[in-house]
Structure 1
Amino acid sequence: MGVRRGDIPFAVEDDEVYDVLPLIKYSNDYFFIDGMEAGVHFWKNDEHQVNLYTRFRFVDIPQELQNESQSQAFDFGLQYRFLQDAWEFDVAFMSDSNKRSYGYTRTQYHWEYGDWYLNPYAEFHWKSADFNQHYYGLDQYEVGGGIEFNAGIKTRYHLYSNLYLLGQFGVGRIDDDTANLPTMDTQYQFESFLGFGFFPDFSNTSAKSKATKVESRASDSSDGEFIRLAHGWATPSNLNAIFSWQTQTDPYNNQFTSVFYGTRLTDTLFNFPIELYFTPGLVWHHDSQVQSNLAEGVVAIKAFYTFEFGPRWRLGVAEGLSYVSSVTYIEGSELEEKGYKPSKLLNYLDFSLDVNMGDLFNSRTMDKMWMGYSIHHRSGIYEKSSAFGRIGGGSNYQTLYLQWHF
């Protein structure tokens, strides 16, 4: 999680714009997520990869225009990546949702020493004429294709235990013809990022052993993976009302069914027995009087803390991203009242409380099963991010679930 600052290259009064960004980093043999880019491995070996690829494209315009415009988005394409020791080279061919094409080549180097990680990079962007005319000429001026150059450095510094400081600084140079458009004010764009992140702490094995001992009973049933099945009911109430036990009922009884998978990243956080899981999920929103069936996809990092009060209980909190195929009624109606244009991509939060069924029913065969309640929350982080359409508001669902660890 952190804050990105970007220069506004257009001929407007504002010179800069800020975004709050939640970032996830995870990879396995099948796919990877690295901040604002991700890919599915179509083919790979030790040195070569061909990936179905997506990357977030920022459009730095004044904050008050970003909700109506919503021109920033994840674009999709095909990526080839070559890995050689600490060097990495990749090339990708991309397109936005209206088939405006562009591509890039990127070279980067990974250097790590002690508590420091440095990642210098340089890349060329090839942009088509229709891409430049829309995003820089604003569909008012004609311009040809061009090549943009970007370079910078990403850094990570280990502060304490699982906590890391994250930073980035970069500069981009727009091609001459595009920079000379009447809509443009500058040829150079600077961007920076400052934030923090949590990573597994492999250096403190003694603390890990201590935490595992404290919660040995929890670890026996909390194996490395889980499946969660849930059913949820929409509520027009906000989080404050839900936590205050003042929840209202959705008059149209909108509901969803979801399935989440989880794989454990670490079983300690700051030397406490708090488990972190990477957890993607699929959500099916059922049709109702006011909406049709629609799908939702989620990727998140979730933390669990186990405690004993009779049986074992767990508190859970998740942070991530949620994308819907169409905006739900409960969300769209609230945003319409507030005067916002809805966004399909929003920040995702999950708050949960569950109990171990093996303890509850004194059954060892149910020791890996948990039953609980959770809040499924989507929102735009109080207008703090263009990635989420600069909106304030979202939607909440209360769910009941079963979660099985294996």
Structure 2
Amino acid sequence: MCSVSCAKTVEDDFLGEIHCAIILNIFSGIIGLAINGQFSSFATYRYEFNDYQDNPYVNGSITKDLTKGEWYWRVAAGRHTETTFNQLVRFQNMFKPEERGTGLASVFVGKKIADNFMWLPLDAYVTGGYVRRFEKGFQDNFNEYVLGFKAYFSKFPWSDTIKTRIGIAEGVSYAAKVPFVEGEHVEAKNRSASKFLNYIDWSIDVSIGDVFKVPKLKECYLGWSVHHRSGIFASSDFYGNVNGGSNVNTLYVQCHHNVMGS
């Protein structure tokens, strides 16, 4: 159950509500997609398997159907920032690096699951990522793993000329160690830190092909994103009522490709 009763500031309360709203909307959207059969390949085998005439386990059709469609890959790198997530969502103080210079590099892949997520003009993807954390000697470098959903809005008036997208992702993050910045923040508050936290990615990007007039790069994007980890401001039992988190400003390149079935 989402709750922000433990939030300590107006900002925490506001962002806690954002977390809850994103989580609830994603799950309601997934349920809606399932009910209306809009999961394409996923729904085909969960809800329409009785109509399938061949044996999918013999000819491998399940694997082919699940892998075909639109995919993307994204590579990103950046540094921790002292700017709050509340400010970053509003594109304020976007490039204010944390003085210690710790950061990350990441590789994400995503699979499209809907063109109109929650009946809105949003392209939705399931996504997973491998993240390498660089701690600048404050502790050993380590890995982080992310799983979540991401939705993009691109229906801006100028997108016919230069396609522009704003994206938001919600998911979970597991880090092999607590990032140094996160540990420092919670220690100052006498609270606990956690390797397993909520994950949000907030991004804006533009089509490289549109900017440089290269049609082959139409579906490749250059963008900025914030890699956010938190315990939802100590408001969630699911994350152990952990307070604190971190924000990392990143620059990325992301390209989309269609995988055709055979």
State the TM-score, normalizing by the size of structure 1.
0.47
User: Which residue of 113, 129, 135 corresponds with 1:281?
Assistant: 129
Q: How many residues end up aligned between the 2 structures?
A: 205
* Residues 5-29 of structure 1 deviation map (CA, whole Å, 9 limit, x = unaligned): xxxxxxxxxxxxxxx98999xxxxx
Which amino acid is the alignment partner of residue 197 of structure 1?
A: S
RMSD, aligned CA: 2.7
User: What is the CA–CA distance in structure 2 between the aligned matches of 1:386 and 1:404, rounded to whole Å?
Assistant: 37
Shift of 1:384: 1.6
Q: Is the CA contact (8 Å cut-off) linking 2:164 and 2:206 kept in structure 1? A: yes
User: What is the CA–CA distance in structure 2 between the aligned matches of 1:317 and 1:3, rounded to whole Å?
Assistant: 19
1:215-226, aligned counterparts within 5 Å? Answer: 224-226=70-72
Q: Is the CA contact (8 Å cut-off) linking 1:373 and 1:399 kept in structure 2? A: yes
Which residue of structure 2 aligns with residue 232 of structure 1?
78
Matched, 1:362 2:216: no
User: What is the CA–CA distance in structure 1 between the aligned matches of 2:215 and 2:95, rounded to whole Å?
Assistant: 36
Matched, 1:198 2:49: no
Which residue of structure 2 aligns with residue 268 of structure 1?
116
Which amino acid is the alignment partner of residue 76 of structure 2?
A: A
Report which of the two has the higher share of helix: 2
User: What is the CA–CA distance in structure 2 between the aligned matches of 1:395 and 1:337, rounded to whole Å?
Assistant: 14
Q: Is the CA contact (8 Å cut-off) linking 2:94 and 2:249 kept in structure 1? A: no
Which residue of structure 1 aligns with residue 204 of structure 2?
353
Which residue of structure 2 aligns with residue 330 of structure 1?
181
Q: Is the CA contact (8 Å cut-off) linking 1:241 and 1:247 kept in structure 2? A: no
Higher RCO (Cα < 8 Å, 6 or more apart): 2
Which residue of structure 2 aligns with residue 392 of structure 1?
243
Which residue of structure 1 aligns with residue 8 of structure 2?
none
User: What is the CA–CA distance in structure 1 between the aligned matches of 2:20 and 2:211, rounded to whole Å?
Assistant: 40
* Residues 47-77 of structure 1 deviation map (CA, whole Å, 9 limit, x = unaligned): xxxxxxxxxxxxxxxxxxxxxxxxxxxxxxx
* Residues 292-346 of structure 1 deviation map (CA, whole Å, 9 limit, x = unaligned): 1111000010000113424010010000000100011111111111111111111
SS, match of residue 392 in structure 1: coil
Q: Is the CA contact (8 Å cut-off) linking 1:314 and 1:354 kept in structure 2? A: yes
Q: Is the CA contact (8 Å cut-off) linking 1:258 and 1:284 kept in structure 2? A: yes
SS, match of residue 86 in structure 2: helix
1:7-406, aligned counterparts within 5 Å? Answer: 197-199=28-30, 200=33, 203=36, 224-242=70-88, 243=90, 244-245=92-93, 248-306=96-154, 307-309=156-158, 310-406=161-257
Report which of the two has the higher share of strand: 1
Distance 1:258 1:312, change over 3 A: same
Instruction: Using the aligned pairs only, state the percent identity.
Output: 33
Q: Is the CA contact (8 Å cut-off) linking 2:192 and 2:243 kept in structure 1? A: no
SS, match of residue 250 in structure 1: coil
User: What is the CA–CA distance in structure 2 between the aligned matches of 1:305 and 1:376, rounded to whole Å?
Assistant: 18
Runs (4+) of structure 1 exceeding 3 A deviation are: 20-24, 201-205
* Runs (5+) with no aligned partner, structure 2: 4-18, 39-68, 258-262
Q: Is the CA contact (8 Å cut-off) linking 1:236 and 1:330 kept in structure 2? A: no
Q: Is the CA contact (8 Å cut-off) linking 1:22 and 1:320 kept in structure 2? A: no
User: What is the CA–CA distance in structure 1 between the aligned matches of 2:152 and 2:228, rounded to whole Å?
Assistant: 17
Distance 1:385 1:271, change over 3 A: closer
SS, match of residue 374 in structure 1: strand
State the TM-score, normalizing by the size of structure 2.
0.71
User: What is the CA–CA distance in structure 2 between the aligned matches of 1:248 and 1:291, rounded to whole Å?
Assistant: 22
* Runs (5+) with no aligned partner, structure 1: 5-19, 25-162, 165-195, 206-222
* Residues 206-253 of structure 1 deviation map (CA, whole Å, 9 limit, x = unaligned): xxxxxxxxxxxxxxxxx6110000001111332123333275321111
SS, match of residue 358 in structure 1: helix
User: What is the CA–CA distance in structure 1 between the aligned matches of 2:98 and 2:138, rounded to whole Å?
Assistant: 11
